[in-house]
Structure 1
Amino acid sequence: MTPTTDDDVDYVRVVFRLPSDDSGWHPAGTERIWAVRLDDQRVRVENIPFAARGVAAGDILTVTADEDGVLWAGDVVEPSGNCTIRVIPVEGCLRSGVRKAVGDAFEPLGVEGEGSRTGLVSLNVPGGADLTEVKETLEQGHADGLWVYELGSVTEAWQAASPTLPATNPSDPPPADYGLAFPDDLAAIVYRTVLSGEAPPLVVLHDPDGDWIVSDGTHTQPDPDSAALVHIQHVVDNDSSVLELANLPAGRIAWRDTATDPWTIEDFSYPAE
């Protein structure tokens, strides 16, 4: 999330080092988080962290600039009283609608959430929230098989509130489709009806030559009038369920009848000439 521009506020990016993580939740080595510079040595965190532990939105922490001017996170010196809880839906975590449903479950409790395209929803639990109700909602969703969770940063008040959550943190490994992403430079032939949002992507082909074609399912041959070569992220921005196919091998085709149906994957080869 990029903060709203304000000429009177000095927004900066702060880099957090992430410890080695065998859980599968956070494979990266660093996370960059927006903050407001308070002085040369302190910032206030503006984002809900997606990976960094021990920090929450609103915390004030020390920073150190390296020789390139990059700000590296230090210690929290003034906790905000907020908690950071991270949730991954078990089914359909790459679908934006599913991630939104997680946020909707906590919003009535005064908890804000932000979803990432890798499948994770990061929640900011204010210090004034009913922590018992938040914990009950978190654990009930886990018990019902709706999501798995990680406690990114919790306060003494959180720990003292009932119910007592299991000691395992994260609660479980992430689901298999968590973290899938297309290569940054991947281009695809995409039907213009899909690009415009007029029709959903119903057929995704990763052909034997390694090319990607995203179709509306009309089975017409792509040409300059009906399709365009674009970055596949444009398709994902319109329909995040396409991310579920990021690992589709060459020589496979995925199809569905409607945008809400699961993908069916089959072998594909061009007819012999």
Structure 2
Amino acid sequence: MSQQPTSASGAKMFKVAFDLDAEKPNWPPVSVERLWGEKTEVKFEIRLLNTPFFARGVAHGDLIQVRPDHERRELVFDHFTSESGHSTTRVVLMDTEAGSEVETRLREAGCSWEKSEQFASLLAVDVPPAVDYRPLREWLRALTADGVIEFQESAISSIHRGQLPNFPKL
């Protein structure tokens, strides 16, 4: 019998299912994304422990409420509770030769990312609260204009929105 995994803080970790709506034909390429999270002291509250590839509106460290789905035998995302200050962007490498350069620049900016073998050209980028998002965003937009990448802002924290004077307010 396998033991329940625990996070670095010692809390029990759980997979949380995020049901995804189609944004366009064939996107996202999956209907459900499962993210790791750890229990908090609040009933059915989870702190996310990884960066989503497809789920919108959530980032690493955010607090969410889940509900048990007994038929599916899993926890399912119910609603967002509070942000962690982290932001999530997705980068799609249109020019795979640029992957190393993009990763180096993201690392220098203080970001981390996740990759998937299934979606090799996709990076799920975690932008921590201490990162100055304005120059990072300008660089990502320039690469997009040059056709090197496409990027999507999935969850931009209030910290990072505050660094962008013309960013749409929530």
Write out aligned runs for 1:166-205 (5 A). Answer: none
User: Whole-Å Cα distance in 1 between the matches of residues 145 and 9 of structure 2?
Assistant: 46
TM-score after normalising by structure 1: 0.53
Q: CA deviation at 1:110?
A: 0.9
Query: Which residue of structure 2 aligns with residue 66 of structure 1?
Result: 69
Q: CA deviation at 1:156?
A: 3.4
AA of the residue aligned to 2:88: T
Is 2:130 the counterpart of 1:128? yes
SS in 1 for 2:38: strand
User: Whole-Å Cα distance in 1 between the matches of residues 87 and 32 of structure 2?
Assistant: 20
- Cα shift readout 1:137-191 (whole Å, capped 9, x = no counterpart): 21121122210011111123433434757x9xxxxxxxxxxxxxxxxxxxxxxxx
Query: Which residue of structure 2 aligns with residue 89 of structure 1?
Result: 93
Query: Which residue of structure 1 aligns with residue 54 of structure 2?
Result: 51
- Cα shift readout 1:99-154 (whole Å, capped 9, x = no counterpart): 44422221111111112221200111112211111111211211222100111111
AA of the residue aligned to 2:78: G
User: Whole-Å Cα distance in 2 between the matches of residues 86 and 159 of structure 1?
Assistant: 17
User: Whole-Å Cα distance in 1 between the matches of residues 57 and 27 of structure 2?
Assistant: 16
Is 2:145 the counterpart of 1:148? no
Is 2:73 the counterpart of 1:76? no
Write out aligned runs for 1:97-136 (5 A). Answer: 98-117=98-117, 118=119, 119-136=121-138
Indicate conservation of the 8 Å contact 2:7/2:38, yes or no.
Answer: no
CA RMSD of aligned residues (A): 2.5
- Structure 2's unaligned 5+ residue stretches are none
CA 1:127/1:7 → structure 2, altered by over 3 Å: closer, same or farther? closer
User: Whole-Å Cα distance in 2 between the matches of residues 4 and 25 of structure 1?
Assistant: 32
Indicate conservation of the 8 Å contact 1:103/1:121, yes or no.
Answer: no
Which of these residues, 152, 157, 160, is aligned with residue 158 of structure 1? Answer: 160
User: Whole-Å Cα distance in 2 between the matches of residues 7 and 45 of structure 1?
Assistant: 13
CA 1:87/1:143 → structure 2, altered by over 3 Å: closer, same or farther? same
- Cα shift readout 1:177-215 (whole Å, capped 9, x = no counterpart): xxxxxxxxxxxxxxxxxxxxxxxxxxxxxxxxxxxxxxx
Indicate conservation of the 8 Å contact 2:6/2:12, yes or no.
Answer: no
Q: CA deviation at 1:23?
A: 5.7
- Cα shift readout 1:51-87 (whole Å, capped 9, x = no counterpart): 0000000001101011154100122212101110000
Q: Alignment identity in percent?
A: 27
Aligned residues: 160
> Larger % of strand: which?
2
AA of the residue aligned to 1:62: Q
Write out aligned runs for 1:239-250 (5 A). Answer: none
- Structure 1's unaligned 5+ residue stretches are 168-273
AA of the residue aligned to 1:47: N
TM-score after normalising by structure 2: 0.82
SS in 2 for 1:53: coil
Indicate conservation of the 8 Å contact 1:21/1:27, yes or no.
Answer: no
Query: Which residue of structure 2 aligns with residue 28 of structure 1?
Result: 30
SS in 2 for 1:152: strand
Query: Which residue of structure 1 aligns with residue 12 of structure 2?
Result: 10
| Bigger radius of gyration among the two | 1
CA 1:64/1:145 → structure 2, altered by over 3 Å: closer, same or farther? same
Indicate conservation of the 8 Å contact 2:37/2:50, yes or no.
Answer: yes
